[in-house]
Amino acid sequence: MFVSTNVRMRAVARLVAMFGPCRGVARDLDSPLIVGRAAEGGLQLLDEKVSREHCIIEPAGPTGHVLRDLGSRNGTWLNGQLLREATRLRPGDHLSLGESVLVYEPSFDALRARDGESTLVLTRGPSAPSWNNLSPSPDVLARAGELAVRAALAPSSEAAAHLVLESLHSALHPSSLAVLRQGLQGSLRALVARPLGAHLTLSRELVASALRLGRVLTMSEVQALPEPDKQMTRVRKGEAHVLCAPFYAGGAPAGALCVLRESPFHDEELALAGALAGAAGPSLCPSFEPRSRPPAPYMPPVAESAPMREALRLAHAAAPSPAAVLITGERGTGKEELARAIHCLGPRAPGPFVALSCGALLPELAEVELFGREKGVLPGQESPHPGVFEQADGGTLFLGEVGQLPAPLQVKLLRTLQDRMVYRVGGRAGLPVDVRVVAATHRPLIEAVRAGTFREDLYWRLNGMRIHLPPLRDRPEDVLPLAERFLARLRPRLGRHIQGFTDEARATLRAHPWPGNALQLANAIERALLLMPSGERIGPGDLPAEVGAPKPSP
């Protein structure tokens, strides 16, 4: 439907067309389409001069559409005139929004693309895939084995994917290539692609059948083929052939290699793609590799007190949702443990849980730790450095002390949460990420918003659900169960055979106000284990002086 140009750079301004609830699923424009910088489920423009919801395109009859401005900051311009009322669109109309220009062409399909990101459009094609049971030749197997060795030595899954694309490109001479990796609920996202911004339309049946059967499949599919000139990129429909070669890791479907070209594929080419996919699968999905550690068994937080039971109830309610969670409470109350519980109780439990304390970040390294760094930015840096967003892809990212994040990074964090794209330091291409964020702070963020030190829009983005953890002094029922858990956890780690606590020590632990909360309690147990002989019980005298000392009289 739209083709685009960038007025300032005289190049294609990449757009994202997201139709319906699932990213990358295209359908005809038979319902209203919102265009804006943060248009969830609409047409999203990466342009700071475009409002969050800038304008709307609504169906008007069986073939036409009407354009209406949504009170945008800089206005919507139609053919050089400021749009003041709803207007019916005509083929060839130019829509100007910020620095982006869209050309309305009802006969063209909308592109889903970003600057540097491959396009993946899943359709329900009428054509049937070609089924292949091919045995690779010795030459093909030799080339696949060589690639497997090189991919295994690659520093990252992204580097391994580039090796696969390099081999496929030299052997098959395609117009575009993509390595797709399977995420949560079977979603497919592009890991890398050639060329940058490549557009690839795949049949749902083709991908699903290839992953289910473990076979290389190919079929013809109508593609949106871009034809750029100096100022504009138009899109024509054309018949092309798509090859889908599934790869597996850990015995489970992990993704697919997808190849597009205008000429059909021969049997030997199909066999080569299948052999390369089979050899490179484990390197493309390092989370499935045998050397990766299995996730630790989930142990629910101690919740004997009524306030902690309420916090755990909210954690259970928040776990199935992808919305961000904000956990508040004093330092040492167990905010990271509650965040891990939210992760383990939800559908992202098989994915990674990555924790980062924003208060401990050095200013000069904070952006790199969060968003990563592209290769070649520093002298001698041969491979990219992934940030915590990439490390947590498919799982949960815990941002502790988020209120201490510097103001420039607050802007970039907000953009990442809105666009679900990460931009590495030194890179211009965005990387799609699927991350659920749980943030925590010991300071009231709303006061920081009023003081102007924390962005209000970021606050509301993080505050999807708020859970407050009370201090340990307000939930004395949790003190002894926490002490027993810390003792059981630290005893094997320190190699100490301590029998438990005396009754006097239990009374002392319960009576202490614990200003440092659960963190202070854990430190007290660890100190006792280090200083006392094995085989005995922890008494009041084995605890730190500030814990066993009597309270001063008022």
Rounded Cα–Cα distance for residues 410 and 438 (Å) = 15
- Ranked by mean pLDDT, the top range of 158-167, 331-340, 411-420 is 331-340
Task: State the chain's mean pLDDT as an integer.
Answer: 78
When pLDDT is cut at 50, 70 and 90, the band that residue 399 belongs to is very high
Domain 13-106: give its CATH code: 2.60.200.20
**Residue 403 pLDDT > 80, yes or no?**
yes
Q: Would you tell me how many other CB atoms lie within 10 Å of the CB of residue 360?
A: 11
pLDDT higher for 6 or 494?
494
| Mean pLDDT score, 508-517 | 93
Distance CA 554, CA 533 (A): 37
Residue 496 pLDDT: 81
Residues 17-39: pLDDT tens digits?
Answer: 222 222 222 334 456 888 887 75
- Give the amino acid at 321: S
- Report the interhelical angle of 267-284 vs 157-172 (nearest 10°): 170
Q: Which pLDDT band, with edges at 50, 70 and 90, does 10 fall under?
A: very low
Indicate whether this model's pTM tops 0.85.
no
Using the predicted structure, report yes or no on whether residue 42 has a pLDDT greater than 70.
no
Among 225, 200, 208, residue whose Cα is nearest residue 3? 225
| pLDDT greater at residue 62 or residue 160 | 160
How many Å apart are CA 245 and CA 117, to the nearest integer?
A: 21
State residue 206's pLDDT score.
82
Mean pLDDT of 127-150: 63
Tokens 């964020």 locate to 437
What is the pLDDT at residue 76?
93
- Quote the pLDDT of residue 549: 57
Q: Which pLDDT belongs to residue 331?
A: 93
What residues does each domain of the chain span? Answer: 13-106, 138-229+238-285, 306-374+382-468, 472-548
The per-residue pLDDT for range 181-222, each reduced to its tens digit, is 776 556 667 677 777 656 677 777 788 888 888 888 988 877
Q: Residue 530: left if φ>0, alpha if ψ -120 to 50, beta else—which one?
A: alpha
pLDDT of 60 = 81
Is the pLDDT reported for residue 475 higher than 50? yes
Q: What is the DSSP letter of 386?
A: -
| pLDDT the model gives residue 112 | 33
Q: What is the pLDDT of residue 531?
A: 84
The pLDDT of residue 105 is above 80: no
**Which CATH code is given to the segment(s) 472-548?**
1.10.8.60
State percent of the chain over pLDDT 70. 75
Query: Which residues neighbour 81 within 8 Å (Cβ) at sequence distance 6 or greater?
Result: none
Residue 516 has pLDDT above 50, yes or no: yes
Least confident of 140-144, 524-528, 539-543: 140-144
Q: What is the 3-state secondary structure (H, E, C) of 176-191?
A: EEEEEEECHHHCEEEE
Q: What is the pLDDT of residues 347-363, one digit of tens each?
A: 888 889 999 999 888 87
| Residue 554, pLDDT above cutoff 60 | no
Question: What tokens were used for 503?
Answer: 């009754």
The pLDDT of residue 121 is 56
How far from 249 is each of 68, 146, 181, 288, CA to CA, in Å? 49, 18, 11, 6
**Strand 436-441 and strand 325-328: pairing?**
parallel
User: What tens digit of pLDDT does each residue of 232-277 get?
Assistant: 555 566 788 889 988 887 777 888 888 888 888 888 888 888 877 8
What is the average pLDDT across 496-525? 91
Which is higher by pLDDT, 85 or 228?
85
138-229+238-285 is a CATH 3.40.50.300 domain? no
Indicate if the pLDDT at residue 545 is higher than 70: yes
Structurally, at CATH architecture level, domain 306-374+382-468 sits in 3-Layer(aba) Sandwich (3.40)
